[in-house]
Amino acid sequence: MYNIKILQLITGLDVGGAEKVVFDLSRSLKDLGHEVFVIGISDKDNLKYLFEEENINVSILNVLKTFSSFLRGCKELFVFIKEKDIRIIHVHMAHALIMALMVKIFRPKLKIVFTSHNFNIGSKTRELIVNFSKHFRDADIIFSASMWKNIYKKNAYVIPNGIDVSKYETNVKKNEIFTFLCIGRIEPVKNHKFLVDIAVRLEKEFDFEIHIVGEGFLKQELIDYIVEKNVKSKFKLLGYRKDINIICNRSHVFILPSLWEGLPISLLEAAASGIPVISTAVGSIPELIDENSGYLTDLDFLYDKMKLTYYNYNEALKKAGLLKRKIKEKYSLTFVVDEHIRVYKKLLNI
C-alpha cells in the first residue's frame, strides 16, 4: 500500500462536529500507515490534546484577527508544507481555505481538497470566496447531493460524515427521569433558547429533563434565560464531555433544534446509540431521516414531536431501530475513511 502524506488544515481545534471529523479521519489514516499532519489556524486548541494522545503531529498557528497575524500564519504554513514536502492539503471550513489558497500561489502543484462542513458557509463574503476559488481547488467534498450548489465544483465528491459505530453499543441504565438530549456548541445556530420556551409549555404535560452537552459563548445567556423562565429544574448543562456514547445511551430522545447544519456528528452518535431522534429538517439531515426512522419537524411543531415521543415511546424506539441500522450500513467510519483515501489517491495519481 502506498502511504499518503497529507495535511489536515482546519480553522481551529475547538470542540465541534467538524473538529471531531478531522480527529477521527486523522486517527484512522494514521492507523492505516499514512503520514498525517494537523494544523489549527486560530488559537482555539481545546481538542489539541486528543491528537497528541494519538501521537498525531498537530500544531497551532495562533493566527489572530489582524492582517499581520494572517500573513505570519501564511508564511509559517508555507514553510511547514515546504519542509515536510506535502503535496496535498485537506482544508476544512472557509477560513482555512483562504490560507491554503495563499500558499498555493507559491506552490501551484499543491493539491487542495475542500470540505465546508455546513450548508450555510456563514456569510456572503465567504460564499464569494468559495465560489471564486473553486477553479483553484482540486476536489470538493460534500455530505449529500442536496448540499451541492454553484459555489462547489461540479464534480464534487459526496462523502457523508461517519462514526465508529461500535463505540455506541453500550449496556447502561436509562436515566430515571425521561431525558431529552441536545448536543452542540452553545451558539446562535444551535438554537438552545428555543428549548427553554418549549420546556415552559412541556412541564405542564409530564416530568422530564433536558440535558445539554457543549460549551459556547452564549452559555451564560442561556443559563440566565433558563432562570428567567423558571425552568431551572428541567435543565442540566453538562459542558464538554468525552463520554458521549454513555450519555446518549442513558438518554431517551435526542433533539436538534438547529437553524442550519451540515450532517451533524452528534445526530449520528445518537442514532448509533439507538435512541429516537427529533430534528429540524435542515442541511443533509432529511437525506438521513424520514418518517419511518425519526421525526423531522419545523420549529413550530417541535413541542408536538417531543410530546409524541413521550406518549408513544415504543413506536419511537421502532423508528430508532431502523435509523441505527442505516447508520451501521452507510455511515460507518471505515467506509468514510476509505472514500477519502480514494479521493486523495486519485489526485496524487497513485
Check residue 120 and give its pLDDT. 84
Average pLDDT over residues 20-45: 96
Residue type, 271: A
Topology alike, domains 5-162+332-348 and 165-331? yes
Please check whether the domain covering 5-162+332-348 is classified as CATH 3.40.50.300: no
**Contact 270/151 with Cβ under 8 angstroms?**
no
- 178-219: pLDDT as tens digits: 999 999 999 999 999 999 999 999 999 999 999 999 999 999
Q: Which residue carries 515536510 as its cell?
A: 84
Residue 348 pLDDT > 90, yes or no? yes
**Contact 177/207 with Cβ under 8 angstroms?**
yes
Alpha carbon distance 101, 104 (integer Å): 5
Domain ranges of the chain: 5-162+332-348, 165-331
Residue 1 pLDDT > 60, yes or no? no
Alpha carbon distance 160, 144 (integer Å): 7
- 217-235: pLDDT as tens digits: 999 999 999 999 999 999 9
Average pLDDT over residues 245-260: 97
Check residue 184 and give its pLDDT. 94
Check residue 64 and give its pLDDT. 93
Alpha carbon distance 130, 289 (integer Å): 29
For the sheet containing 209-213, what is the strand order?
Answer: 235-239, 209-213, 179-183, 253-256, 277-280, 295-297
Alpha carbon distance 254, 64 (integer Å): 36
- 289-342: pLDDT as tens digits: 999 999 999 999 999 999 999 999 999 999 999 999 999 999 999 999 999 999
Q: Element (H or E) spanning 239, and its range?
A: strand 235-239
Q: What percent of the chain has pLDDT over 70?
A: 99
- Looking at domain 165-331, its CATH architecture is 3-Layer(aba) Sandwich (3.40)
- 108-130: pLDDT as tens digits: 999 999 999 988 887 889 999 99
Average pLDDT over residues 278-298: 96
User: What pTM was computed for the model?
Assistant: 0.87
Within the chain, residue ranges assigned H as helices are 17-31, 48-53, 67-84, 94-106, 124-133, 192-202, 219-228, 244-250, 265-272, 302-311, 313-330, 333-348
